[in-house]
Structure 1
């Protein structure tokens, strides 16, 4: 019989909005790390009240801490993609403590699920925020994760997009332009950096 290892669970809290103070559970697994509180706070300080009534897509959702913060602050619909079963269970549990009617979860490879989620968000005819936080730890078949992430961003049409935020390793040089989107700013937080892109014009 296989020995089942008990996974340690950490918690963070929603910073502001309708669900302020609600606990978010995060499993301690190599591919899932919560966005640092300081980074998350900086991101939401950047978008402020613009998120109200918009869609929010968390592409590598983990336990959903960024998307659920967006939900708390008034996002109309939130979409979460996660391929790790343990993280996905935590995500579903975290959603139950907020507003499941405005949340859509997709279990599986984010690169495969993205087109489906993108079409759903597009059909709402509301502008969408896209948050990309690809796992830093590379494993078999994941060496090209940033190239694949940039290819996804290239598929985003300007009329659908409000903003794209990419959380990435600080030593990675992100392009000045990705498809129809252009780089607007970056903010460094130690090993992690957040780069922002908006439709041109």
Structure 2
């Protein structure tokens, strides 16, 4: 018999600590591992205070909401799946909805609108990009599209770009005006950090 138990995770730290977030079904999204998130937030813990944070392919929004809990000012979520967006909205409502904005639809198309919003509001953002694994049907070219998305982000609007990806995927040393700063492996998952290629 199939279990219909609702998958959840808690916000780990900050003003919304222990808030229970719903996770969409595992079929449509992957939840980032706790160890990956812990490492990431330890890396940028003080830099994120009062910052703008963009979560591309946001799913449940757990990374963006963790950033909000830890002191980020504005969170932009980008998600395509309508059912997942319902869960995302529910999770946002448990925190500070006034600090959050959702761009629904194809992230590869919506990145232009997000860039326009950042420009208009004079914001420099952290971009967390966690694309669906390319082994999923219809997602074969997801990483090529992701590289184009990164290239399209003006360096003056980006504090740092973080990619959560399969460990087997080799991220190029240079992507447009960005260069690979470091990569950290967690079993099958790797976090790669990119910053502006400034000499």
Aligned residues: 197
1:22-171 correspondence to structure 2 within 5 Å = 22-136=19-133, 138-171=135-168
Cα shift at 1:42: 0.6
Cα shift at 1:115: 1.0
- Cα distance in structure 1, aligned partners of 2:60 and 2:188: 21
Cα shift at 1:139: 3.8
Note the alpha carbon deviations across 1:59-118, whole angstroms, 9 max, x for none: 100010000011111111101111112211110000000000010012211112111112
Cα shift at 1:140: 4.0
CA RMSD of aligned residues (A): 1.6
**Map of 1:12 onto structure 2:** 9
Note the alpha carbon deviations across 1:133-182, whole angstroms, 9 max, x for none: 00115444320100100100001111111000000110011000111111
CA contact 1:52–1:73 (8 Å) conserved in 2? yes
**Map of 2:170 onto structure 1:** 173
In structure 2, the residue corresponding to 1:106 is in which secondary structure?
Answer: strand
Structure 1 residues 112, 200: closer, same or farther in 2, change over 3 A?
same
What residue ranges of structure 1 are gaps of 5+ in the alignment? none
- Cα distance in structure 1, aligned partners of 2:136 and 2:165: 16
What residue ranges of structure 2 are gaps of 5+ in the alignment? none
CA contact 1:7–1:28 (8 Å) conserved in 2? no
Note the alpha carbon deviations across 1:18-72, whole angstroms, 9 max, x for none: 1111111102232311110110111111111101111111010001000001111
- Cα distance in structure 2, aligned partners of 1:15 and 1:86: 25
- Cα distance in structure 1, aligned partners of 2:184 and 2:158: 21
User: TM-score by structure 2 length?
Assistant: 0.94
User: TM-score by structure 1 length?
Assistant: 0.93
